[in-house]
Structure 1
């Protein structure tokens, strides 16, 4: 059995669904169910005996230790994190508590459990920590993409807290011998994405006839990774990765934010044309840029392909079309997520910036 933390969030839930779609090894899913955790994403597993959901905090050592012992867990995949840059600017304390203190407590619970294992069980155990390319800072237009040897230069409270967690994981390997693996991924997108992030926000605002908010000039460049590709990369690293190593996971899809938004508008024009005959791109609105906004991220994922044979299956064009279609086909999920609390956040964050 494996333990997945943060398994009701966007990437974690996609991982759990993909994992159980591909094999019968059971999953303990530990999630605190903060604003971005959504059990409806996991509704198809409600009566599946292979999926045990536990509401709880990675910082609760007693709970984590009990789960590890009771179920004789062979691997932990840590997705649990506060992950939205804008929220980290407004309230950094939650990010320090979850991403730094929470990771520390999780590592200590796992270390206690691992120290008690013997023989093959101890040798086979793995702790896989899922992180972000934002820990590397920002790139200029001419810089080479981030490789695993890039130094850490985080520029937001979110990325700083994730950088700290990465350092803790590395230190627990080198100091205590804990068998760890770390992945640093580029921007994910796909089904079940909480609609405060760019791609789902644009899709839903477009359909609702609302402004499509673009920070600054919209030329911030990101490397876009379809979430199901990310899940397959994590499975590959868990099965084959070298202990103590970091693997960058990217989609080889650098796109400016404005181009991403225009792509979405074009697909919606085709799949769900507006009744007034205008294009969705007419709803694009520029808003004040956020503080410390990194200009460009790009991932060099050649190490993962060279050593473990992984590369993404989706292009941006195929992945974004699948994503738009998923949101069109899953309005019940969307309506459940877009609660009053979510709308209040959007109004608070974007209402005074247009």
Structure 2
């Protein structure tokens, strides 16, 4: 499990079980069909409540029912010692198009499972979730197909078999001792591939070249999924990579968590401030499956071409830490995404089987 929750092993075990069921579902899909479910993970609800301290509880806190709220503390105005937090639930990201094909037309968004049971009783999605034994407190996100956020422009030249696509320089680093940066892996096809970078710093704008020295793209990774990153070293030793000051990688997430404030520094979109509102163990379609991604909102903040953009925590105890880089989204409009996903960089660097030593640059 890429996140940790010592206080609620029931949630951990539930998400692990749903991940197993989800992977079985992926293995049952026959091309060109798409899955009924895009991914599974965990997410906080919109309400939450006051969690008393262990001394006040006189025992171990157990996971409350969905959408619970401490009305007694609210009424008294003086809650017992503890902390306010959002309850965290299992999360299923469902295929909006497949629900519509069953004769329903709900809006994309987040729903509680009980609120949808009556309307969805005869849908394939509900039958699938019931076969998984999804608990009642599960949250359901209705979303479009998750796609990588690279952009192919109408005027781009096509070289060989791979079209020219664009992404964004993300967090800077040193790779094997050389200045480098991390971006989205789906920008390129292999280690050793050359990329062009439009340098806008001093001496620019000008185009400089870099070489991919480490890479992974979950395209074709199958039901077990993979990571999405490319480590690029600049070819000319006279070229440099500017760094963004940060405090290092965001620590391992530990639900229950308060919704995290995050800034994504997009290429086409510029800086976009929003919140992390979900932690997905796995997400994707029949072709590409991402491991360990954050869901980022609100809707419509990012667009194609923002892939690889640095995501940084902007508030709370981990302010200034690097969360990861934007890799893709799902949406009903051609330009902006309704749902946006960030590759968790800590688990990516730890588990992505990098072949070269990578250290982040710019740590304060």
Give yes or no for TM over 0.5.
no
For the superposition of Structure 1 and Structure 2, which TM-score range results when normalised by the shorter chain?
Answer: under 0.3
Higher strand share: 2
Query: Higher helix proportion, which one?
Result: 1
TM-score, structure 1 as length reference:
0.25
Question: What TM-score do the two structures reach when normalised by structure 2?
Answer: 0.25
